Amino acid sequence: MGKSSKDKRDLYYRKAKEQGYRARSAFKLLQLDDDFHFLQQAVRVVDLCAAPGSWSQVLSRRLFPQSSDNSDRKIVAVDLQPMSPIDNVITLQADITHPKTLQTITELFEGKKADFICSDGAPDVTGLHDLDEYVQQQLILSALQLSTCLLRKGGNFVAKIFRGRDIDMLYSQLGYLFEKVICAKPRSSRGTSLESFIVCLGYNPPANWEPKLDVNSSVEDFFQGCDIGKLRLEDKCPNYHEEPRSIATFIACGGLSSFDSDATYHVDTSTPALDPVQSPTNPPYKKALELKRRGKMTRAI
């Protein structure tokens, strides 16, 4: 977050700074939880792809209100990037696609299951649309694999998705694992973006299915034994018939009274620009800044 650049244009950006959140995306989780209340009973919670940490801040504020007994509650936040500390959150610099990450979280929870898992994961984009969409889907599947190993029966899962061509397939797969699957668009998520959030309530895996993460096995192998495997293309092709399309319920949340993320609001020009809540820990432009400071940014020709 910069000091003033977007303060006047994007109300959520401004509000995030006013309320001490590291990123405007905090409002997406707040608006989702206000509608679905998945944090109400949560004790053990995992925030996947968590940096810079605004979702973890929301989790911390909602799970650790000052007045109640919070002794059993635990929040684990995982990201490839380092994160500055957040009250009541254990931060883990790790790759969510690696089985070792599952092992570490299980140890932190002392073998107990999680009640809620969220993933706001986004890979670095290449600009090659098909490749970007594929990598994003793989990241969602990795978050889902991890969640099937960590969630208790009845637990909830929320993940960012982009409503691309093949999203129906994901809805169908999730429908085999959760009692209710809803596609939700919070008011703070720009209407012009394909971004939405899949809200999966009531984890209910098939009986006798024991998910096992292994670095050498594919996603298909992982879901063997679970009904998701039945959706493989080979199974459909020999005697092709159209499966009924699985369309998840679509809900706009946040309420009409909340700010519209695509609108430009008039902000009093005398309102002072606010400093960023948290400076980046290790920004990719750090080296360039250092070279510039030492006057070594130029190249000899």
Q: How far is the CB of 80 from ligand SAM (least distance, A)?
A: 4
C-alpha 157/C-alpha 86 separation (Å) is: 22
Which tokens go with 298? 């130029």
C-alpha 271/C-alpha 263 separation (Å) is: 19
Q: How far is the CB of 260 from ligand SAM (least distance, A)?
A: 20
Q: Whose Cβ is closer to ligand SAM: residue 11's or residue 96's?
A: 96
**Position among 11, 16, 23, 226 found at the interface with ligand SAM (CB under 6 A):** 23
Q: How far is the CB of 143 from ligand SAM (least distance, A)?
A: 9
Give the footprint of ligand SAM on residues 39-58 (CB under 6 A).
Answer: 49-55
Q: Whose Cβ is closer to ligand SAM: residue 50's or residue 144's?
A: 50
Determine if 202 is a binding residue for ligand SAM (CB under 6 A): no
Q: Which helix H or strand E contains 185, and what residues bound it?
A: strand 178-186
Q: Are 176 and 226 in contact (CB under 8 A)?
A: yes
Residues in binding site for S-adenosyl-L-methionine: 53, 55, 79, 95, 120
Q: Which helix H or strand E contains 79, and what residues bound it?
A: strand 74-79
**Position among 86, 92, 96, 248 found at the interface with ligand SAM (CB under 6 A):** 96
Which tokens go with 135? 């990598």
**Position among 15, 35, 81, 132 found at the interface with ligand SAM (CB under 6 A):** 81
Determine if 177 is a binding residue for ligand SAM (CB under 6 A): no
Which tokens go with 130? 């098909």
End-to-end CA distance of the chain: give it in Å, rounded.
Answer: 35
C-alpha 185/C-alpha 252 separation (Å) is: 5
Instruction: List beta partners, residue 46.
Output: 76, 117
Determine if 95 is a binding residue for ligand SAM (CB under 6 A): yes
Determine if 10 is a binding residue for ligand SAM (CB under 6 A): no
Stretch that binds ligand SAM, among 62-70, 79-87, 186-194, 283-291 (CB under 6 A): 79-87
Determine if 79 is a binding residue for ligand SAM (CB under 6 A): yes
Nearest CA to 162 among 197, 210, 130, 128? 197
C-alpha 291/C-alpha 301 separation (Å) is: 17
Residues binding ligand SAM: number (CB under 6 A) = 22
Active site residue 160: yes
* Residue window 110-149: x/- pattern of binding to ligand SAM, with contact defined by CB under 6 A: ----------xxxx---------------x----------
Q: How far is the CB of 22 from ligand SAM (least distance, A)?
A: 6
Q: Whose Cβ is closer to ligand SAM: residue 49's or residue 176's?
A: 49
Q: How far is the CB of 13 from ligand SAM (least distance, A)?
A: 13
Neighbours of 137 (CB within 10 A): 18
Give the footprint of ligand SAM on residues 224-253 (CB under 6 A).
Answer: none
Angle at 264 between CA 263 and CA 265, to 5 degrees: 110
Nearest CA to 143 among 126, 129, 123? 123
Angle at 99 between CA 281 and CA 147, to 5 degrees: 85
Q: Are 185 and 28 in contact (CB under 8 A)?
A: no
Query: Rule CB under 6 A: which residues touch ligand SAM?
Result: 22-23, 25, 49-55, 78-81, 95-97, 120-123, 139
Q: Which residues are catalytic?
A: 160
